[in-house]
Every structure is written in structure tokens, then in C-alpha cells.
Amino acid sequence: MIKLINETVDYLKSKGFETPEIGIILGTGLGQLTDHIEVLAEASYDQIPNFPTATVEFHKGKLIYGHLASKKVIVMQGRFHIYEGYSLQDVTYPVRVMKQLGIKTLLVSNASGAINLDFKKGELMLIDDHINLQGGSPLAFRGVEELGERFTDMSAPYDLELNAKFKSIAKANNIKLHEGVYASVVGPQLETRAEYRMLKIIGADAVGMSTVPEIIVANHLNLKVAAVSVLTDECDPENLKPVDISEIIAMAGKAEPDMITLFTELIKEL
């Protein structure tokens, strides 16, 4: 994997991707942050050596490098999921590449469903902890110890200092920011009523199909990491209605300006 990472990094450097400080992963329906970036270089995933290719129609599949709030950032406009047929190593490969390019901090966003019925769609949730229900680990491969500590500590996977800054920024900007536990499932099907009940019992406040693999690898690489979920639907098993994916995308877009404020203001403070 080291050889593959170096090949990818060499290609990106040749395209002008130089010494980013902060990596950003944009989730489903959350691509507008790139409108606020002074773009210096970009590359489509299908042109980057050894990169997976986004197969989901609402994930654009582009790596962008530039300035945001006077900081050098590298942004994944579209991410990968195991429900697309990728392995957990494929899904997290870009995090390893961004680390090799130089990032010290990783900020992650996603769209998720609210299990905690005190949370409403269109609101945001700062992830304090997570539950991995994807049936595997992105660190479970031969040679992982060459890239970092095999038995990575996960007692505090989300950086406490970054989370405190997010909460302070939300308060200053009158943004409703919940804090809770994110459960990551395989998908792509949505959950049954019984599964929503189970998720609530085991302590989840929100559920989605991403993020946790990237967080695990970020911790493996000793990156500071924080993540925010945009709550796009309410998962009440007693009043469950069919969900239209287009409605989820629309709700993500509605809540996105608050997420952009959080990310931009936080980057100013880093």
C-alpha cells in the first residue's frame, strides 16, 4: 500500500497539490463548501492513480486543493462507501493519501438519519462517539503496522479541542448543534422499524453509511479529527414513512449553509 500511496501522492503533487494543512470530506448532498474555496488545483477521481471512483450519482468525485479561510485545504467532493462494492481499505485510501500530502487535521461531514427523536431533520449533530456496524475494520489487513499502530486507541476518536471549538462557533452563530453518537451501517438499503429500535437501544443518536472507516484511519494516522452530521430525516419506528432519497438530498442542501459556517469559522481558528 505504501507504494500505491506514493504513486498517488506524486501524481497529485505534479498537478499542484502542495502541502495542505487540513483535509475535508464532504458527504451526501454537501458539496457547496467548494464554492467558498480559492481553487488552486483539482483532479477527478477517475484520473488519479490508484483512487477508487465515486459511483453514486450525487457524489461528484473530485479532489480539490486551494485556500479556505487563509488555510491550505484539500477537499474530497464526494466520498466512497462499502455499499458501492469497495473494501474498507479502498474507502479510506484517500485519507492515507491526504496524510502523506501533509494534512494534520481532518474534518468530515455526512448526511444521516436522526434516531434520537429530540433531534429534527434540518439540524446538525456534532459526533462525540460512534458505533461501527459495518462488519469490519479498515485496519484489518496484512502490513498495517507499517502505516501506524495496529492496535489503535479509540477511547476519544473525535478531538475534544476541535469539538469544543465547534460548539463555541455554533453558539456564537445561533446554530443549533446537537452532540451525539453516530452509528455506521453498510447500506445501501435504509433501516427497518426493528433496526431503528435496535439502534436506539444500543445508544445511537444518528445513523448513516459512512464516516466511521475514515475516522478509524485518521486515528491510526494520528490526525486530529472532527465530524458533523446533517440530519436529513427522522427515524421514528412507530411512525415510519417511506423515504425518498431526493428528499434526503434536498434536506442536506437546506441545512448545508450552517455546516459551511461551522467548517469555515473553525478553519479560521486552526
Q: State residue 253's pLDDT score.
A: 81
Q: State residue 256's pLDDT score.
A: 86
Q: Grid coordinates standing for 17? A: 497539490
pTM assigned to the model: 0.94
Q: Grid coordinates standing for 166? A: 465547534
Q: State residue 1's pLDDT score.
A: 85
Q: State residue 216's pLDDT score.
A: 98
Q: For each of the domains in the chain, give its residue range(s) and CATH number, in order of start.
A: 2-269 (3.40.50.1580)
Average pLDDT, 10 consecutive residues per value, the chain (270 residues): 93 96 87 89 94 64 94 94 94 97 97 96 96 97 91 97 98 97 96 97 98 98 97 93 82 86 95
Beta strands 124-132 and 177-184, pairing class: parallel
